[in-house]
Structure 1
Amino acid sequence: MRSSRVEELITIGALARASGLTASALRFYADCGLLTPAEVDAATGYRYYTPSQCERAVLIRRLRGIDLSLEAITEVLSAGPDRAERLLDAHVAELARRAKAAARVAAQVKRALGAGRGVAVPAAELARAIAQVGTAAASDDSALVLTGVLVEAEATALTLTATDRYRLSTRTVPLRDGGDEWSAVVAVAPLAALRPWLESIDEVVLTPRASGIALASGDTEHRCAGIEEPFPDYRAVLDGLAAVRTRVLVARAALLDLLETAADDSVVCAVDESGLALSGAVTATRLPAAVTGAPMRLAFRSTVLRPAVASAIGPDLMVDLAASDQPVVVRSATDGDLTTLVMPTSIPSTEDHDR
C-alpha cells in the first residue's frame, strides 16, 4: 500500500488529460528534465505527478504551440517575470519577421509558377500614391472612367494615374520582385477606403481580376471594382507637352495657405525674377520663389490648383510653365516621381474684375 503522500499524486494519464499533452510527450519532457515526475515507482516504473505540476505542463504545451525550443522554454520558465516577458517578446518578433519573409517567398513562387499575375509593393507607399493621385479623379460620373484610377503593372513599377480633364496626376511605386504586365481602371472611392488598412501592413500584392483588382496581404483580401471603359491616353498628353520656358521653385505650405484663403475661385499667378505674385478678385500677395526663365502670367481655378498643391509632398514645389494656355507641370521638388498637370484658364480682364 502506498503512503498517504503517494495517494495525493496523480498518474501520468490524469496529467495528460488535465494538461492537453499526451502521455508520450510527458515522458519526453520528463526525460529531458523539463517536467520531472514527483515520484517514479521503482517496481513498475509508473510516473506520478503532483496536481500543481499541471500548471507547468499547460505552460509547456502553450509555449511549444508557438514554436519555442525546449531550451528556450526552460529559460522562460526559470526566469523572473520581467526577463520571461522580454524573452517571449523577442520570440514573437522573430516569428513575425519569419512570417513576413515566408509570405514574400510564397508570393514570389506563386508568380513564378503562374499561380497569379500579382505584383508586390510596399503597402505604405501605395497608400501615399493613392492619396496623391486619387484627388485628380473626377467627382461626378458624367464620364465614368474619369472617376477611376488607372493601375498599371510593369516590369519594375506600379503606376497610378487619374485625371478629371483639368488635372492629371501620375505616380509610380517600385515593385519588390518584378512581375507580369497588366492594367485595370478601378473606382477611386473603394481604393481610397483601403488606405488605413494599407498603412497598417508591410506589403500588399495586387492581382488583376475579371473585373477590377484584388489587394491581398496574408489571409486578407480586398476587391476593387473595375470600370470597363478605355482610360484616356495620358502618356500622349505627357509626351506632347510643350517645352518648358519658366521653372518656379516655391514653398508648398505658403502657396497652399494663400490658395486656402483665396477670395475668388479664379486666381492669377504672375512670375518673374522677383518671385511669384498670386492675386484673387481683390487682394494680391507675393511669395518668395526661385524663378528661372521668362516672366509669365497664368490664371487658374483655385479649386483645381489647390488639390494639386495639397497632394504634393515635401516642403517645396517645382512648377514648370510652357505658356499661359498650356498645362502646368507641378512636381514635389523632393519627390520628382509624382507628376501633376494643371490646366490654366483664360486670364480675367480688368473689366471683369471691376464689374
Structure 2
Amino acid sequence: MAGSASEGLITIGVLARASGLTASALRFYDDCGLLIPAAVDPLTGYRYYTEAQRERATLIRQLRAIDLPLDTIARILSDDAARARQLLDDHVDELARRARDAAHVVAAVKRSLGTGSHVVVSAAALADALEQVRAAAATTRGIPVLAGVLVEADANVLTLTATDRYRLCTRSVVAHRGRGGAWSRVLDPDGLGPTTAWLRGEDEIIATPTEHFLILSGSNAEHRSAVIDAPFPDYRAVLSGLGPVRTRAVVARDQLLGILEKTEATVQLAIDQTGITVSENNHLSATVTGSALTVYFDTATLLATVHTALGPDLMLDIAAADQPVLLRSATDGALTTLAMPTRPTGES
C-alpha cells in the first residue's frame, strides 16, 4: 500500500491492542462482515482501520463477552438505537433466566452431594402417585403396615404401593437420576396429606431413606416422613398369581364413576358383548372381549378404585367372578389397581 493511502489509518495490531481483541479475532470479524477494514494492501494483504473503528471493535468485544451471537451484534450495531436497546434488554432477560436455571441445578446437585442412596423425581409426579395409591391403604391401624404406603426405589424408578387386602394399587414414577442400591420404606400415613400438598409447590425432589424417615428434599425445604418398621405384604406375588384374563372390558371412566356415586352397598356389574349393566338398571357402552359374566363389588371399594384411575377410559381384566379384578388406565400403564370382588347380597 502506498504511504499516502495509509495516512490516518492504524494497523490491525494497533487496533487489537486498543480494543482488547486479538488480531485473529479482528480477521474473523472481517471475514464475517462485522468489522471490515477501511483498507487492505493489495500486495501484502495487511488490514488497516480508522480511528473511528476502534469504538466499534471495543463494542464487539464487550458484546461478545456476554455471549451475544454475531447476528444479534450486527443488528445492535446498526443505526436503529431503539431496536438495539430492545435486543440488549431481551438478552439480559435470557441471561437472568439461564442464571436462575443454573442456580436451581447447582442447588439440586449440592443437596445430593454427600448423601447416601437416593433418587431424584418430579415432585408433581410423586404427589400424584401418593394421592392415587393412598386411596387403597387401610383406614384403620389394626394392621399398621396396611395403613402405610410402600416406597421402593432403584436408580431408575420409584414405585409406590398400598393395599387394605380388598384393594391394591401400585404406581411407578420414572427417576430423573439416582445413586446407590435398591431400598424400600413403608411411609406412616400421618402427615402424608401435608407432604403431598407441599410437593405441589416443588419442582424436583430428592428422596433419601434413613432408618426412621424418608427425607424429601426440595429447593428450599425438606419433609421427613416417618416410616413403619414392619414387612409389607408381597404384592408382587399377588400380581403374578392372577389367573389368565377371561373377560376384558373397556368403559368410559366418568360414566361408571357417575353411577357408582349414586349406588349404595353392593354394586353388580353384568358384562357381556353389549356392554356393562350396572346394578340391573344402568347400561354402559363398553368394548368387551371374552366370556360374559357377572361380578359384585362393595361399592365403596370399587368407587375409590375408579376415582383414582387416570384418563378417560378404564380397562377391567377379570379372571373369575371371585378373583381380584385388575383395573388399568389406558393413558397410564404405570398405574395398576386390584379390587377384590364380594359375594352377591344374600349369599353366605
Scaled by the length of structure 2, the TM-score of the pair is: 0.72
Q: Is the 8 A contact 1:169 1:341 kept in 2?
A: yes
1:84 Cα shift?
Answer: 8.6
Structure 2, unmatched stretches of 5+, are 1-63, 68-75
1:189 to 1:314, Cα distance in 2 relative to 1, 3 A: farther
Structure 1 residue corresponding to 2:107, chosen from 97, 103, 107: 103
1:267 to 1:81, Cα distance in 2 relative to 1, 3 A: farther
What does 1:177-188 correspond to in 2, within 5 Å?
Answer: 177-179=177-179, 180-188=181-189
| Residues 184-224 of structure 1: per-residue CA shift (max 9 Å, x gap) | 00113422322232222221000111212000023411100
The answer for the alignment partner of 1:258 in structure 2 is 259
What is the aligned length? 272
Residues 1:151 and 2:151 are matched in the alignment: yes
Q: Distance in 2 between matches of 1:190 and 1:88?
A: 43
The answer for the alignment partner of 2:96 in structure 1 is 92
Residues 1:345 and 2:342 are matched in the alignment: yes
Residues 1:284 and 2:281 are matched in the alignment: yes
What does 1:224-303 correspond to in 2, within 5 Å?
Answer: 224-262=225-263, 264-279=264-279, 284-303=281-300
1:289 to 1:118, Cα distance in 2 relative to 1, 3 A: same
Q: What residue identity is the alignment partner of 1:231? A: F
SS at match of 2:306: helix
Q: Distance in 2 between matches of 1:115 and 1:223?
A: 15
| Residues 38-97 of structure 1: per-residue CA shift (max 9 Å, x gap) | xxxxxxxxxxxxxxxxxxxxxxxxxxxxxxx9969xx9xx99999897666434322221
Q: Is the 8 A contact 1:185 1:212 kept in 2?
A: no
1:135 Cα shift?
Answer: 0.7
Q: Distance in 2 between matches of 1:85 and 1:139?
A: 56
The answer for the alignment partner of 1:307 in structure 2 is 304
Q: Distance in 1 between matches of 2:209 and 2:66?
A: 46
Structure 2 residue corresponding to 1:330, chosen from 324, 327, 330: 327
Q: Is the 8 A contact 1:156 1:178 kept in 2?
A: yes
The answer for the alignment partner of 2:117 in structure 1 is 117
Structure 1, unmatched stretches of 5+, are 1-68
SS at match of 1:235: helix
The answer for the alignment partner of 1:10 in structure 2 is none
Q: Is the 8 A contact 1:134 1:192 kept in 2?
A: no
Scaled by the length of structure 1, the TM-score of the pair is: 0.71
Q: Is the 8 A contact 1:130 1:192 kept in 2?
A: no
Q: What residue identity is the alignment partner of 2:106? A: A
Q: Distance in 1 between matches of 2:309 and 2:66?
A: 53
| Residues 109-139 of structure 1: per-residue CA shift (max 9 Å, x gap) | x3xxx63211101111111111111111111
1:155 Cα shift?
Answer: 3.3
Q: Distance in 1 between matches of 2:308 and 2:189?
A: 15
Q: Which shifted more, 265-274 or 99-108?
A: 99-108
The answer for the alignment partner of 1:18 in structure 2 is none
- RMSD of aligned Cα (Å): 2.6
The answer for the alignment partner of 2:224 in structure 1 is 223
Q: Distance in 2 between matches of 1:134 and 1:316?
A: 21
Q: What residue identity is the alignment partner of 2:329? A: S
1:176 to 1:274, Cα distance in 2 relative to 1, 3 A: same
Q: Which shifted more, 152-161 or 323-332?
A: 152-161
- Structure 1 runs of 4+ off > 6 angstroms? 69-72, 78-85
SS at match of 1:269: strand
